[in-house]
Amino acid sequence: MLGVVKSVEVVTLDVGTGLTSLGTNLTKGQNIANCVPFLTQQNVGNTYQPDRWMMDVYFNSGQVVVERTNTGSRIICTVVVVEFDPNKVRVQQKSFSVPNAASTNVTLDYAITDGKAAMVHHYRMATGTATQARYWALRRYFNGTTQVTLVRETGGGTTLAGNLYVFESLDGAFTTQNITLSMAAGVASDTDTISEVDLSKSWIVPCSLYSERNHAEAEDSFVFVRFQSSTAVQANRRGSVSAAVLSSQVVEHHDDTHVDHGQFDFGSTDPADRDHQDALPDAVDADYSAPIVTIRDGMIECPSTYSATDYYKYFARCWYSPTVSGIRGYRQNGSEAGILRWQSIEFAPAPGYYFAGYVKELGSPVTRTVRAYHRNTGEMLGETTSSGVGGYYYLETTYSGAHYVLCLDDLTGDTFNLLGYDLMIPTTISGG
């Protein structure tokens, strides 16, 4: 069954010391108004200052751009740009600023339908350099159908600025469930119950975080998130001095999208520059597949013996191997243990083109099977059944080039040969 994604592009942006921003051209002709970016990153410099490693992600003149406030370390970013079909998914892109206050509401341009929308956000510490997690941790959630609330424990004289991206199914091709994982001081784990999902078609949007941590240590606020089962999502952390709350959505697809799940287990005896690679059950289609983790920015759950000066050890970026038969996780330093949950999402391609016409037998409209094939490879790209009322058929395909189209005879009545047309070029779907 055809899906809702027109393209996926995975790019690497190496933000060197001295740079506050870096962008690269997108290469697949994307309409950026329909795109949502996801981020993982690797902190190469020996830094824990959030104004150096916190990255906003946005689009500008056909480029995807990452931006931070202050330099002083090298950050390598993997950005996954997912382009949705606007006929099937509405994307809303909103910028925001959260000043020295505990929360800010962002009003959406369009009301969402509950159970069909999800969101991701990226941001930087625009003013101030405070390292406390309660200053940089920013949780997001839908506040009804017309607003997004962004909340942190306090501002501490700092301002956070960034962009959020809401993506909403218009036809039910995917459904969503909101999740909240809350851990009070002294509690290191929480589970949120969800309605049962098919794990082979479901994924967790990278979770956002609220923290009361008043220090730079990450053991309280770098959290491991996973599906505990098809009916529960679980969060774990190594430390529990302060309270932490996470929010996000579970997305379940109802098309041919397929999701694989796994985790990178970084060991305390790993060498520096540790590159993990997990094999996937099957090679994925790079044009439609996304390596996305379950927690913001690729933060790794760390041991409780964490040192405040070692933030750089607890980030990992995630991408595919060159053969797209494996998924890779890379962190800069290997002297501490930690885990990161990955998701490989192979989206079902959105239909971008169609054939339409009528099937008649001896002048009368009939119900018949119609199939379209890629002319060069013979792959079947679409199938439909004509209407017995008027003989009309409408068949969607993802391929813009030459097809051959076949109409099958039925199994009753007079016997006829296949009806075929060669070198058929489909029509572009309006708005596609």
pLDDT tier, 284 (very low <50, low <70, confident <90, very high otherwise): very high
Q: Are 286 and 238 in contact (CB under 8 A)?
A: no
The per-residue pLDDT for 408 is 95
Pick from 93-102, 288-297, 338-347, 406-415: least confident: 406-415
Query: What is d(CA 154, CA 175) in angstroms, rounded to the nearest whole number?
Result: 33
- How far apart (Å, rounded) are the C-alpha atoms in residues 242 and 136? 15
pLDDT the model gives residue 388: 72
Domains of the chain, each with CATH number or no CATH:
5-346 (no CATH), 353-428 (2.60.40.10)
pLDDT tens digit sequence for 251-271? 999 999 999 999 999 887 776
From 205-214, 272-281, 304-313, the region with the lowest mean pLDDT: 304-313
User: How far is it, in rounded angstroms, from Cα 61 to Cα 79?
Assistant: 17
Tell me what pLDDT residue 93 has.
Answer: 98
What is the β-pairing status of strands 117-127 and 75-84? Answer: unpaired
Tell me the sheet residues that pair with 185. none
Position 236 scores a pLDDT of: 96
Contact 105, 111 (CB under 8 A): no
pLDDT of 432: 40
Q: Is the pLDDT of residue 127 over 60?
A: yes
Torsion of CA 204, 208, 214, 215, to 10 degrees: 60
Which strands make up the sheet holding 75-84, listed edge to edge?
Answer: 5-15, 75-84, 35-43
Q: What is the pTM of this model?
A: 0.86
Q: How many CB atoms lie within 10 A of CB 23?
A: 18
Which residues have a Cβ under 8 Å from the Cβ of 415 and sit 6 or more positions away?
409
The CA angle 76-39-315, to the nearest 5 degrees, is 55
What percentage of residues in the chain have a pLDDT greater than 70?
A: 97
- pLDDT level of residue 2 (50, 70, 90 thresholds): confident
64-114 pLDDT per residue, tens: 999 999 998 899 999 999 999 998 999 999 999 999 888 999 999 999 999
What is the C-alpha radius of gyration for the chain, rounded to an integer number of angstroms? Answer: 24
Q: What counts of helices (H) and strands (E) characterise the chain?
A: 2, 34
**What SS3 state is found at 241?**
coil
Per-residue pLDDT for 306 more than 80? no
Task: For residue range 19-63, list pLDDT tens digits in order.
Answer: 999 999 999 889 999 999 999 999 887 778 888 999 999 999 999
Distance CA 70, CA 75 (A): 12
Question: Could you tell me which residues come within 8 angstroms of residue 53 by beta carbon, excluding any fewer than 6 positions away?
Answer: 41, 43, 47, 68, 73, 75, 297, 311, 312, 315
Tokens of 384: 């439909």
Across-strand partners of 159? 127
Q: Where are the alpha helices (DSSP H) in 250-369?
A: none
CB 268 within 8 A of CB 224: no
pLDDT at 431 over 60: no
pLDDT on residue 273: 60
User: Among 429, 268, 397, 426, which residue's Cα sits nearest to residue 337?
Assistant: 268
| Rounded Cα distance, 47 and 50, in Å | 8
